[in-house]
Amino acid sequence: MAELTVQALNGMDKTSFVDTLESVYETSPWVAERAASDRPFDSIEAVHESMRQAVQNASHDNQLELLQAHPDLGEQTEMTDASREEQASAGLDQLSREQYEAFQRLNETYRDTFGFPFIMAVKGASPDVIQATMEDRVDNSESKEFQTALDEVHEIARLRLDELLTS
């Protein structure tokens, strides 16, 4: 359970603040850097909203880099501890050979179509649900999928903040 309070976060210098929150938005410390000036926060929701706004107000290129920082789902490569835990919670670390191959094909198709990996807040979802969602979303327009991926990134960030902070 989280032991870091929002008040403690407010009292940190900027470097400590960024170091503490840099993994909330996958290897993108610039999000925390931009949110730091919005302190003090009165709730986890306020921290999340500030970080969400930093992403929404960023350039398209910065947003794309943020999306590209996420690992492919079901991939067995190096990733952040948070991503590894989230994927494990959805059983993506124990895919059958057939499931793994299906995920690899879908990941490749998705990445070729949109230029970034498929992103979904997978915590607690089953591999079958994730695969079905991948199959559905690969048919989205580029603009719709870009926004959907950003929305999923915000949900992942919210879940990570809930794990990290206590009110």
Residue 131 in contact with residue 106, Cβ under 8 Å? yes
Domains contained in the chain, CATH given: 4-166 (1.10.3330.10)
Name the residue type at position 28: S
Nearest to 155 by CA among 16, 25, 62: 25
Asked if pLDDT for residue 6 goes beyond 60, the answer is yes
Between 87 and 42, where is the model more confident?
42
Q: What is the pLDDT averaged over residues 3-9?
A: 94
The residues carrying an active-site annotation are 70
